[in-house]
Amino acid sequence: MIPSQASIIAGRVIRQLIRDRRTIVLIVVVPLVVMTLIGLSFPEGNVLNYIAPALLATLALFFSFLLTGISFLRERSQGTMERLMASPVSRLDIVVGYLFGFFIFALTQTLIILLFTIYVLGVHYYGDLWQIFVFQVVVITVAVNLGIFISTFARNEFQMVQFIPLIILPQVFLCGVIWPMEQMPDYLQWLSAILPLTYAVDGLRNIMLTGKSLLDVGFELSVLISFALIISILAAITLRRGTAG
């Protein structure tokens, strides 16, 4: 169970986003449009089958990071975060509250992408659907925490958007999404070893392409959970009262 103060914040975040109808429509429609375009651009089913796990991991990371980063930044720029920081709520409650609040919407987007990929684009996969879903939940948790953490370094939406090519794009190139990591120079392989998307792509490929279970991808899961924990602690640290603003 999440702490009561965190659940109050989570409830408020959810209520606030639900009342923003345009955002809700975009949360649903954008992944559908993107997946349709991807499906149309890969008429050869086998290629799509192979690339689907990496795409699912990348899109979950990208959409969740973007949604969380921008929303959290808005809290800071509108002054509501300062007000919250002046209240008796702990930093951890704030991070956990936002994590759960944004998580619901990130989960919805990921579920839409996953179901669309499998049932509309007809991607073949091995392993259990629920295991794919659980793995994706961990990927989203990393992405939501990353969005909260990175947004503390941006002062406005424009700066936040600049973090996408810095945080997300390198992962697309370095984490085995487009070409095998083994083909990259050693120093880039070392770099890829500290990027969460590497483990997200590896784990999801193992489940979807070879039918492995969550237990089999325990290493990748553990690394991703560690990423989520470390980033959430860093996010809580950067929110400290004494340096607000």
Partner 1 sequence: MAEKEFTGLAAEVNEVSFSYNNIKAVDELSLQVPTGISFGLLGPNGAGKTTLIRLLVGLLRPRAGSVQILGQTPSRKTAHLIGYMPQLHSLYAELSVMQNVDFFARIYRLTNRHERAQQVEEAIKLVNMWQRRQDPVLKLSGGMRQRVSLACAIVHNPPLLLLDEPTVGLDPELRVTFWEHFASLTKQGVTLIISSHTMDDAAHCDRLAFMRNGKVIAQGTPVELRQATGQPEASLEDAFLYFIHRED
Q: Measure the CA–CA gap between 239 and 76, rounded to whole angstroms.
A: 10
Of 36, 80, 159, 222, the one binding partner 1 by CB under 8 A:
80
Q: How far apart, in whole angstroms, are the C-alpha atoms of residue 225 and residue 187? A: 25
The CB-of-76 to partner 1 minimum distance in angstroms stands at: 11
Spell out the residues 6+ positions from residue 32 whose beta carbon is closer than 8 angstroms to its own: 112, 116
Q: How far is the CB of 91 from partner 1 (least distance, A)?
A: 9
Nearest residue (CB) to partner 1, 23 versus 189: 23
Among 1, 19, 183, 187, binds partner 1 (CB under 8 A): 19
Distance, CA of 135 to CA of 128 (rounded, Å): 11
Q: Comparing C-alpha atoms, which of 194, 198, 158 is closest to residue 57? A: 198
Q: Which of 82, 115, 194, 222 binds partner 1 (CB under 8 A)?
A: 82
**Is residue 157 within 8 Å of 73, Cβ to Cβ?**
yes
**Residue 238 found at the interface with partner 1 (CB under 8 A):** no
- How far is the C-alpha of 72 from the C-alpha of 220, rounded, in Å? 28
How far is 87 from 241, CA to CA, in rounded Å? 10
Shortest CA distance to 140 belongs to which of 233, 232, 63?
A: 63
CB of 165 to partner 1, least distance (A): 27
The set of residues, in sequence order, having a beta carbon less than 8 Å from that of 61 and lying 6+ positions away, is: 139, 142, 143, 146, 168, 171, 196, 197, 200
* Of 2, 3, 30, 90, the one binding partner 1 by CB under 8 A: 90
Query: Nearest distance from residue 83's CB to partner 1, in Å?
Result: 4
Please tell me whether residue 27 binds partner 1 under the rule CB under 8 A.
no
Question: Pick from 25, 37, 86, 193: which binds partner 1 (CB under 8 A)?
Answer: 86
How far apart, in Å, are the Cα atoms of 221 and each of 126, 199, 215? 18, 8, 9
Min dist CB 85 to partner 1, Å, is 6
Nearer to partner 1, 81 or 107 (CB): 81
Q: For residues 11 and 218, which CB has a smaller minimum distance to partner 1 in the complex?
A: 11
| Nearest distance from C-beta of residue 19 to partner 1, angstroms | 4
Q: Taking the complex as a whole, how short is the minimal distance between the CB of residue 107 and partner 1, in angstroms?
A: 20
CA 90 to chain centre: 24
Residues at the interface with partner 1 (CB under 8 A): 5, 8-9, 12, 15-17, 19-20, 78-80, 82-90, 241-245
